[in-house]
Amino acid sequence: MKVIIVGGVAGGATAAARLRRLDETAEIVVFERSGYVSYANCGLPYYIGGVITDKEELTLQTPESFWQRFRVDMRVRHEVTAIHPAEKTVDVRNLATGETFTESYDKLVLSPGARPTQPALPGVGIDRLFTLRTVEDTLKIREFIEQHHPRSAVLAGGGFIGVELMENLRELGIDVTVVQRPRQLLNPLDADMAAFLHAKLRQKGVRLHLGCTVEGFAANGDRVNVLLKNEAPLTADMVVLAIGVTPDTGLAKAAGLELGIKGSILVNDRMETSAPDIYAVGDAVQVKHFVTGQDTLLSLAGPANKQGRIAADNICGGDSRYPGSQGSSVIKVFDMTIATTGVNEKTAKQAGIDCDKVYLSPMSHAGYYPGGKVMTLKVVFEKGTYRLLGAQIVGYEGVDKRIDVLATAIHAGLSALQLKDLDLAYAPPYSSAKDPVNMAGFMIENLSHGLVEQFFPEDVDALPRDGSVTLLDVRTPGEYADGHAEGFVNLPVDDLRERLREVPVGKPVYVICQSGLRSYIACRILAQQGFKCYNLSGGWRLYETVVR
């Protein structure tokens, strides 16, 4: 059997290694357009920032080591230029020599990945305008920085790659401005959760131009002008374009393979394309979203690796199935960690799912043990069924842990009500006896039993201030004095029972505290006295960050 693989990185290299482990006799040839195989795409921004110091660290294998260990013929600087499914051949160009040739295959695996999206804007392609995908791109940016010592950079785009680059450029002392068309960074977050990120970035001196559209670029001597819609242009010493990625599927399209969203390759759960004996994996393929069941694109290394292994299994006569992607992801942003799994609220709503949510702000570990930090956790679930839809966490230590627990719960089909039962490991340096994930479960159970009703930050400003409803802030007078929502009256929770007469009978009560916990207790006191009351989900902490 002769297997040809297009692309020698996450999906392709994994498929090659697995193929060899399954079949000693197969002939395995990998064509890789760039000069490197098995490179750590995800590490590239950190090489630019100098966190990863050694270039060798960026490649997990070389063509030589791959040959030694796996007898895989890894041909770098070889571009596959056409696929002929009927003939079962591919055309290849050796980019070093210009030579072209044709190779036959019994099985073909496409793992060509995705390219940085290049909008059709004036000035795309000029000097000092960079994109980041390959080792070569990385070396180019790093050399530029070393030679030209740019003092300012504009990042067009604020997705994962943009934000990682931003951090690394900032850590080099470069003045960074991010321009982003949506009004928030990191699209997998809901806007409310992204607000915590925006606050951190501003604190770190990053300039944010949100809701702002780039209309083009122009060289300006040694600098670049970034032209904006309805705004004065920005000028910087360098620009990076990171507005997203597009499946690199020109080949597949030309070969007549069935395509999906944004030209991605259609595959079934065995990673088979529409053409016999052609498999495709990684960023180039359309996947089924594990939560919504909808078709989607997700550019993540975990799925690419898993899919590469599955394709290899099936090529060797196995029956491995990809269950769909949940989009679990995590990113470090300075000292912050941000992570998501499943769908966010806006996506759930777009998918027509009737959803509800809780926000909480637990400590990463027991408050009495030094070093704990507050995280903000949002869990989204389906109304009525309590099906877990997704979670987002912004914080520091322990964020990655809770997202992986929630990802596992979603994968296993646990309901949001079962989160309270999870038997998680507790000692003071690691967690609390009621882990944040358990706590989310308690809160959701309380909603399900009607013990409390919620209102949300976006509702606060619209509440009537005409005396028809009561607006209570149950924090301490000191906290209240430090800042409170207009129209809310201070009545500390611990005084509520004694001062109950001050709460007008017969009017709904909206209760605020710092995190939502004390106001929940206040709501319980009030509800049992016959008041109709609502707890501000996420508390003043969330309101202040999101609305102000």
Ligand X SMILES: CC(C)(COP(=O)(O)OP(=O)(O)OC[C@H]1O[C@@H](n2cnc3c(N)ncnc32)[C@H](O)[C@@H]1OP(=O)(O)O)[C@@H](O)C(=O)NCCC(=O)NCCS
* Of positions 5, 6, 9, 165, contacts ligand X by CB under 6 A: 9
Query: Would you count residue 499 as binding its own copies (CB under 8 A)?
Result: no
Asked if 373 touches its own copies (CB under 8 A), the answer is no
- Near its own copies in 409-428, by CB under 8 A: 409, 411-414, 418, 420-428
Minimum CB–partner distance for residue 184 and ligand X (Å): 23
**In terms of CB distance, is 211 or 302 closer to ligand FAD?**
302
d(CA 393, CA 378): 6
Q: Shortest approach of ligand X to residue 517 CB, angstroms? A: 4
Please give the C-alpha separations between residue 289 and each of 286, 296, 381, in angstroms, as whole numbers: 9, 6, 16
251 contact, one of ligand X, its own copies, ligand FAD, none, CB 5-8 Å limit per kind: ligand FAD
Give the SS3 label for residue 317. coil
Helix (H) or strand (E) holding 528: helix 517-528
Question: Any contact of residue 419 with ligand X (CB under 6 A)?
Answer: no
E strand or H helix that includes residue 341: strand 336-342
Residue 372 interacts with ligand FAD (CB under 6 A)?
no
Query: Any contact of residue 429 with its own copies (CB under 8 A)?
Result: yes
Beta sheet of 223-228, edge-to-edge order: 214-220, 223-228, 231-236
Angle at 339 between CA 333 and CA 344, to 5 degrees: 125
Candidates 113, 324, 342, 395: give the one binding ligand FAD (CB under 6 A): 113
- Using the minimum distance from each CB to ligand FAD, give the nearer residue, 427 or 547: 427
Using DSSP, state whether 19 is helix, strand or coil.
helix
Stretch that binds its own copies, among 103-111, 114-122, 334-342, 349-357 (CB under 8 A): 334-342
Stretch that binds ligand FAD, among 277-285, 413-421, 463-471, 534-542 (CB under 6 A): 277-285
Query: How many positions of this chain bind ligand X (CB under 6 A)?
Result: 28
Helices (H), 449-512: 457-460, 477-481, 493-496
- Pull the structure tokens for residue 444: 């959701």
Residues numbered 439-468 forming contacts with its own copies, rule: CB under 8 A: 442, 449, 451
Angle subtended at Cα 12 by Cα 8 and Cα 18, rounded to the nearest 5 degrees: 120
3-state class of 215 per DSSP? strand
Span interacting with ligand FAD, options 140-148, 197-205, 282-290, 397-405, rule CB under 6 A: 282-290
The DSSP bridge pattern shows strands 245-247 and 78-84 to be unpaired
The separation between CA 449 and the C-alpha centre of its own chain, rounded to angstroms, equals: 33
Residue 23 in contact with its own copies, rule: CB under 8 A: yes
Q: What is the DSSP string of 272-283?
A: B-SSTTEEE-GG
Per-residue contact track with its own copies, 30 to 59, x per CB under 8 A? ----------x-xx--x----xx----xx-
Look up residue 451 and give its two tokens.
């013990």
The amino acid sitting at 143 is: E
- Does residue 401 belong to the site contacting its own copies (CB under 8 A)? yes
Using CB under 8 A as the binding rule, whether residue 369 contacts its own copies is answered as: yes
Q: Which of 80, 228, 377, 447 binds ligand FAD (CB under 6 A)?
A: 80
Candidate list 2, 27, 62, 71; residue touching its own copies; CB under 8 A: 71
- Which residues, 488 to 547, sit near ligand X by CB under 6 A? 515-517, 520
What are the two backbone dihedrals, phi and then psi, of residue 64, each rounded to the nearest 5 degrees?
A: -65, -50
Please tell me the distance from the alpha carbon of residue 147 to that of residue 141, in angstroms, as a whole number.
10
3 state SS of 335:
coil
- x/- letters, 296..315, toward its own copies (CB under 8 A): ----xxxxxxx--x------
* Phi/psi at 287 (5° precision): -120, 165
Identity of the residue, 91 or 269, whose beta carbon is nearer to its own copies in the bound complex: 269
Q: Does 347 bind ligand X (CB under 6 A)?
A: no
Burial class (CB in 10 A: 0-12, 13-18, 19+), 192: buried
Angstrom distance (rounded) from CA 451 to CA 523: 9
Does residue 170 sit in helix, strand or coil?
Answer: helix
From its own copies, ligand FAD, ligand X, none, which one binds at residue 528 (CB under 5 to 8 Å depending on kind)? its own copies
**H/E run at residue 391:** strand 388-395
Kindly tell me which of 80 and 463 has the beta carbon lying closer to ligand FAD: 80
Of these partners, its own copies, ligand FAD, ligand X, none, which one is at the site of residue 61 (CB under 5 to 8 Å by kind)?
ligand X
Binding to ligand X (CB under 6 A): which residues in 125-184? none
Q: Kindly give the pairing relationship between strand 287-288 and strand 107-110.
A: unpaired
By beta-carbon proximity to ligand FAD, the closer residue of 152 and 168 is 168
Active site residues: 42
Q: How many residues sit in the footprint of ligand FAD (CB under 6 A)?
A: 36
Asked if 289 is part of the footprint of its own copies (rule: CB under 8 A), the reply reads no
Closest by CA to 541, choosing from 518, 508, 525, 507, is 518
Among 317, 44, 255, smallest CA distance to 160 is for 44
Degrees to nearest 5, angle at CA 199 with 196 and 205 = 145
Taking CB under 8 A as the criterion, the residue among 8, 49, 150, 327 binding its own copies is 327
Nearer to its own copies, 40 or 463 (CB): 40
Q: Angle at which helices 436-448 and 399-411 pack, to 10 degrees?
A: 50
Which DSSP state fits 396?
B
The interface with ligand FAD within residues 10-69 (CB under 6 A) comprises: 10-12, 31-34, 41-42, 44-45
If the CB atoms of residues 157 and 538 are measured against ligand FAD, the closer one turns out to be: 157
Task: Output the six-digit token pair for 325.
Answer: 């992607």
> What does the binding site for ligand X look like in residue numbers (CB under 6 A)?
9-10, 13-14, 17-18, 21, 38, 40-43, 60-61, 301, 305, 309, 360, 433-434, 439, 442-443, 446, 515-517, 520
> What does the binding site for ligand FAD look like in residue numbers (CB under 6 A)?
6-7, 9-12, 31-34, 41-42, 44-45, 79-80, 111-113, 132-134, 160-161, 248, 251, 282-284, 299-302, 304, 426-427
